[in-house]
Amino acid sequence: MTVSFYGKTPDGSSIMLDFEHPAYLQLNNGNAHAVLSLLAVHGSDQPDGEMTIPEARRAILYARATFERRASKFTRASSDTKRSGHARVISGGIGEDYLARRVDDFERFVNAVSELGAASIYWA
């Protein structure tokens, strides 16, 4: 499953960036959970939520200011599990460099939808 990010105007209309837009943002559930946790905006097991543009900008500043101290909490090693009689499970890892790039991507997304008139963002 994936988590997609959208903007929302003050009247509640959605701003959906095209897939080819440079600021389009979509993550798989596990990666979205890690990035949103690093941004300190994810409070449930389900990666969906909403925040205002100013809250999103504060979350970006917080993630960057605390990155060296907190990022390692959200990393994971890759794995390749093979068990006889079961499907092979391959899980990609998340490194600190990945998290840093996703915080940059999140900021790019926030800036893009803000310029298009968004007052808040949401993800689902």
Number of domains in the chain: 1
Angle at the Cα of 40 from the Cα atoms of 78 and 63, rounded to 5 degrees:
80
Block mean pLDDT (10 aa), the chain, length 124: 95 97 95 94 75 97 98 92 89 93 98 98 95
Residue 121, CA distances (Å) to 54, 104, 115 in order: 10, 16, 12
Domain that holds residue 92: 2-123
What does DSSP say about strands 120-123 and 2-8: parallel, antiparallel, or unpaired? antiparallel
Q: Could you tell me the pTM of the whole model?
A: 0.89
pLDDT at res. 43: 58
Residue 45 pLDDT: 67
